[in-house]
Amino acid sequence: MRLMQTLGKRSFSSIFNSQVLTEKRIYHPASLLKNFTHHKGVQQQRRRQMINQKKLLVLIDGSERSMKTVDYVSRVTPFLHYKVTLYHVFSGVPDGFYDLEKEPANAKAVTQLKDWETQKKKDITAFMSQAQEILIKAGFPAEAVEIKIHTRTKGIARDILTEAEQGYSAVVLRRRGVGALEGVTIGSVASKLIAKISFLPVIIAGQRLPGEQILIGVDGSEYSARAVDFVAKIFGGYGYRVELLHVIRGFDGMAPEGPDFMMHADYLHEVQSRMTQLFASLRQKLIQAGFETDKISEKIITGVFSRAGTIVKEAEAQGCGTIVVGRKGLSSVQEFFMGRVSNKVIHAGRKFTVWIV
């Protein structure tokens, strides 16, 4: 009754259109589509701005592995023209421990905790300065290398995510850091970041030296095309070699011989023809970006059981230091932040630097 009195003589259609039936807002399909389109456009614009600004976010946790990440950045020639932020999330004494000060008997313990925190901050500051010096000695301008020590607020991964949104071209990290467990390929923080930083390329530094040979996995998806664009933008004109690789799965001896288990020749021919056309287009992009014609190669491998395993094996055979793959492939589901092949390449190619674009 009160609702009717408030609305007066307004028609049902006007009520519905103005979305005031209840306190819970009612959205029109057209409005949802408009909002979604706007959000997607903002994301794409943000991605373009981040790439154009040429800024790298390099994650440092104070471990020997993270110093090797800095060494990796110092060896990639195009990065000399980037601004670099060395970023550390500092986890000191949890606030709850300071409640101990209320009891005089705990005064000594609190003092020890404060001394530990102070020393820990001094250690990481010295570590960050050492990392900065490595980059400067490699040729980075001193003013282009920034140190950020951020006091933990929401959590290590979430604080890094917030920083990553501040206009960077890519995030550089290691698979594992402090407290790494033997046999574990990806640490918990790295795993969260790789999954959640979907708006930026993620560079996962490996054990191998970067070298000047790059392998790009191509599957015909928007993401693999974006991976080629990113490589072209960064490495074009620096003399790097690049291989465009497409892998077509088969049974590879895992199924009985016979016509029922053989991939149809017409299908193979169609896929190979389509990929050859795509390769020609991608090759042209690389040439326009500054890659030399004789340093671009293409390959299609068929009949293998594992696409990720084949990508890693090919990188090994060609002496590549870097593998670049799209974040998601043709069969990816919208809710998943990471495609299966990309995820498997990270694990199987642990010696390699893997770029997820």
Tens of pLDDT, residues 292-310: 999 999 999 998 989 999 9
Q: Which parts of 181-266 are beta strand (E)?
A: 202-205, 213-217, 241-249
121 shares its domain with 244: no
Q: What is the pLDDT of residues 165-180, one digit of tens each?
A: 999 999 999 987 654 4
Q: Is residue 168 one of the residues assigned to a domain?
A: yes
Mean pLDDT of 72-76: 97
Can you tell me the distance from the alpha carbon of 302 to that of 279, in angstroms, rounded to the nearest whole number? 16
Shared domain for 114 and 245, answered yes or no, is: no
Q: Taking residues 215-231, report their average pLDDT.
A: 94
Alpha-carbon distance 104 to 334, whole Å?
56
Handedness of CA 69, 70, 75, 76 (dihedral sign): positive
- Listed range (188-202, 204-218, 243-257, 329-343) with the worst mean pLDDT: 329-343
Residue 30 covered by a domain = no
Residue 17 CB neighbours (<10 A): 12
Bigger pLDDT: 249 or 11?
Answer: 249
Whether the per-residue pLDDT at 257 is higher than 60: the answer is no
Selected residue with higher pLDDT from 10 and 209: 209
Least confident of 67-76, 107-116, 147-156, 237-246: 107-116
Question: What CATH number does residue 257 fall under?
Answer: 3.40.50.620
Average pLDDT of the residues of the chain: 81
Same domain, 226 and 280: yes
Q: Tokens 């708006």 identify what position?
A: 199
Question: Is 170 found in the same domain as 78?
Answer: yes
Q: What counts of helices (H) and strands (E) characterise the chain?
A: 11, 10
189 and 172 in a common domain: yes
On whether both 131 and 56 belong to a single domain, the answer is yes
User: Do residues 249 and 115 share a domain?
Assistant: no
Contacts 24+ apart (CB under 8 A), 336-339: 337/195, 337/196, 337/198, 338/194, 338/195, 339/223
**Does a structural domain hold residue 11?**
no
Domain of residue 232 covers 207-357
Indicate the pTM of the whole model: 0.77
Q: Which long-range contacts (CB under 8 A, 24 or more apart) does 281-284 make?
A: 282/218, 282/225, 282/228, 282/244, 283/244
| From 142-156, 203-217, 227-241, 319-333, the region with the lowest mean pLDDT | 319-333
Question: Pick the residue with more confidence: 357 or 42?
Answer: 357
pLDDT tens-digit readout, 126-155:
999 999 999 999 999 999 999 999 999 999
| pLDDT at residue 97 in the model | 59
Span 6-35, average pLDDT: 40
* Residue 212: how many other CB atoms lie within 10 Å: 18
pLDDT recorded at residue 53: 63
Q: How far is CA 262 from the centre of its chain?
A: 37
Q: Are residues 150 and 163 in the same domain?
A: yes
Higher-confidence position of 283 and 258? 283
- pLDDT higher than 60, residue 259: no
Do residues 226 and 171 share a domain? no
Residue 72: is it exposed, middle or buried by C-beta count within 10 angstroms (0-12/13-18/19+)?
A: buried
| CA atoms of 123 and 146, how far apart (whole Å) | 17
pLDDT at residue 111, as a whole number: 80
pLDDT band at 20 (very low <50, low <70, confident <90, very high): very low
Q: What is the pLDDT of residue 265?
A: 77
Tokens of 160: 């890094």
Question: What share of the chain has pLDDT > 90, as a percent?
Answer: 57
Instruction: Give how many domains the chain has, as a whole number.
Output: 2
| Contacts of residue 117, Cβ cutoff 8 Å, sequence gap at least 6 | 92, 93
Q: Is 1 exposed, middle or buried (0-12, 13-18, 19+ CB in 10 A)?
A: exposed
Which of 186, 205, 224 delimits the end of a domain? 205
Please determine, for residue 229, whether its predicted confidence score (pLDDT) is greater than 50. Answer: yes
- Domain presence at residue 24: no
CA–CA gap between residue 40 and residue 304 (Å, rounded): 36
Torsion of CA 249, 191, 228, 313, to 10 degrees: -40
Residue 19 scores a pLDDT above 80: no
- Chosen domain end from 144, 170, 205: 205
